[in-house]
Amino acid sequence: MKQALGADRVAAEPRAVEELIVRCARLPLALALVAARAALRPQGGLHLLVSELRDAHQRWQTLAGDEPTTDVRTVFSWSYRALTPQAARLFRLLGFHPGPDISVPAAASLAGVTPHQVRPLLGELVRVNLVSECAAGRYTFHDLLRNYACDMAYRIDTDQQRRTAIQRILDHYVHTAYASAMLLNAARDPITLTPLAPGVTPEHPADYQQALDWFTAEHPVLLATANQAAEGGFDGHTWQLAWTLWNFLDWRGKWHDLAATGRAAVAAAERLADLPAQARAHRNLANTYTRLGRLDDAHVQLAHALDLATQTGDQTEEAHTHHNLAYLWEQRGDYLRALDHAQQTLDLYRAAGHQNGQADALNAVGWYHGLLGDHQQTLTACQQALTLFQDLGDRYGQAATWDSLGYAHHHLGHYAHAVTSYDHALTLLRDLGDRYYEGTILTHLGDTHHVTGNADVARDVWRQALAILDDLDHPDADKVRSKLAAIDDSSPGS
């Protein structure tokens, strides 16, 4: 294609050339048609052709030749007409999957059949080159074929058939993501899901690691699915998907993705006039904004959440919101106000009989006492929290509390206890996969090694923390970078 376009045009717009090749799926016929169209416009920029290929309505005109055999859709139709009716139906429905790829169980739910039934249909599509197996058990196809599949679905399938298929795939992801989310964080308060449509076969991860692996493989698909749900008016699915994604995206530092799904969840819950869902959505969005340093926006969201929790008389939701308000005031540097909200959190959880919440609140109360300089009180409250978390089997809560205990021991001069506490926290967090919190605790551990004169160990630990925080593009990375610069400046011979 580059040769057909001419060296001067390729040199003038190299990025446009590369995008043309990608958008043509590297298909020889499509590339030849685009090159021919470019030749008819010697004075036109190649970026204009790129724009045509980006536009779904113009794309097929650009890829149509004068003869039927030089029309890309005609070439696709040769493969499509060779399919069995069941495989042809699956191909059409795949056009409505948000991508970028799909697993066997998800394809089964999309088609409303069993995984055993869908495997040979996927194999049939692979054999005629309409889809490809991009990884073991995962299938994809180019946007040109996706558009062709959608066109065929609009010609053949009814509106109701198309919408029912979309609902099935949304149900598949919501129910599987919910089961996975509860394995990642069993302490979360359960929610009521949209009932499963007939023909949906959600997946059932067996344990924490399988759930984490599923989210790792599917999270790009889940983000696309959440967007599809919002644009398609599936409001229940929209806020429920956002809820299920929260822990995984937070632990991986994907806060901009969280903010996008969070805003969609708020809008969906408001359209549904579902007050409890609105309260959760506002609170989760606030927590995300706090992570991003958008503290004023977080405060607005938490004010909405607290008002809704009060309206509905939900003490647990009110406690959750005060807990988030404590974290917000901590980020503002007002530790007294943070402690006040943490104490309100504890009182509300106790009144609601919420054991896991009580443990969380005790840890928060202890932490804010520590930030205010009362480290003995930190030990008292956090030891109570740790005992509760251990009884409940909450590993994430245990990790957070070991961090608080490490901080208190450090400031009391119990450096060996501090190192042991941080090591306990790190062991738990590395199993859980929360990278941001791992970076935070590595920073604390480096502080303890530094104050005890172990400069080399401190430097190594801070470098590990910096690598994580830089990878997450988190502002805390600059603080760690400053620590490393200071320790290097103070080293002998510097």
Percent above pLDDT 70 for the chain: 85
Q: By 3-state DSSP, what share of the chain in percent is helix, strand and coil, each rounded to 5?
A: 75, 0, 20
pLDDT tens per residue, range 130-160: 888 989 999 998 777 888 899 899 999 999 9
pLDDT, position 69? 42
Specify if 295 maps to a domain. Answer: no
pLDDT, position 139? 96
pLDDT, position 229? 97
pLDDT tens per residue, range 73-120: 666 777 788 899 999 999 999 999 998 999 999 999 999 999 999 999
Token pair belonging to 304: 């909405």
* 82/30 same-domain check: no
Specify if 152 maps to a domain. Answer: yes
Amino acid, single-letter form, for residue 234: F
pLDDT, position 487? 85
Of 101, 111, 97, which Cα lies nearest the Cα of 140? 101
Domain end call among 157, 190, 209: 157
How far, in Å, CA of 178 to CA of 190, rounded?
A: 9
pLDDT, position 68? 43
pLDDT tens per residue, range 445-455: 999 999 999 99
Percent above pLDDT 90 for the chain: 74
Domain end call among 105, 139, 157: 157
- H/E element holding 175? helix 159-184
pLDDT of residue 44 exceeding 80:
no
Number of domains in the chain: 3
* 80/153 same-domain check: yes
* Confidence band, pLDDT 50/70/90 cuts, at residue 39: low
User: Is residue 138 helix, strand or coil?
Assistant: strand
pLDDT, position 231? 95
* Confidence band, pLDDT 50/70/90 cuts, at residue 64: low
Specify if 61 maps to a domain. Answer: yes
Say which range, 66-70, 242-246, 307-311, 328-332, has the weakest mean pLDDT. 66-70
Write the burial class of residue 347 (CB in 10 Å: 0-12 exposed, 13-18 middle, 19+ buried): middle
* 52/84 same-domain check: no
Specify if 113 maps to a domain. Answer: yes
* 53/125 same-domain check: no
Specify if 365 maps to a domain. Answer: no
Mean pLDDT over each residue of the chain, to the nearest integer: 89
**DSSP states of 345-409 as a string?**
HHHHHHHHT-HHHHHHHHHHHHHHHHHTT-HHHHHHHHHHHHHHHHHHT-HHHHHHHHHHHHHHH
Mean of pLDDT values over 400-418? 97
Boundaries of domain holding 483 = 434-494
* Confidence band, pLDDT 50/70/90 cuts, at residue 59: low
Pairing of strands 138-140, 132-135: antiparallel
* 22/63 same-domain check: yes
More confident site: 141 or 167: 167
pLDDT, position 129? 79
pLDDT of residue 244 exceeding 90:
yes
How far, in Å, CA of 40 to CA of 32, rounded?
A: 13
Specify if 224 maps to a domain. Answer: no
* 116/82 same-domain check: yes
Say which range, 38-47, 338-347, 372-381, has the weakest mean pLDDT. 38-47
* 143/88 same-domain check: yes
Specify if 50 maps to a domain. Answer: yes
pLDDT, position 271? 97
pLDDT, position 462? 96
pLDDT tens per residue, range 452-472: 999 999 999 999 999 999 998
Domain at 113, CATH number: 1.10.10.10
* 93/65 same-domain check: no
* Confidence band, pLDDT 50/70/90 cuts, at residue 282: very high
Q: Phi then psi for 133, rounded to 5 degrees?
A: -90, 100
pLDDT tens per residue, range 306-318: 999 999 999 999 9
Q: What is the pTM of this model?
A: 0.84
Specify if 129 maps to a domain. Answer: yes
Mean of pLDDT values over 202-231? 96
pLDDT of residue 192 exceeding 60:
yes
More confident site: 383 or 436: 383
pLDDT, position 490? 64
Give me the sign of the Cα torsion angle 262, 263, 269, 275: positive
Domain end call among 98, 124, 157: 157
* 97/118 same-domain check: yes
* Confidence band, pLDDT 50/70/90 cuts, at residue 494: very low
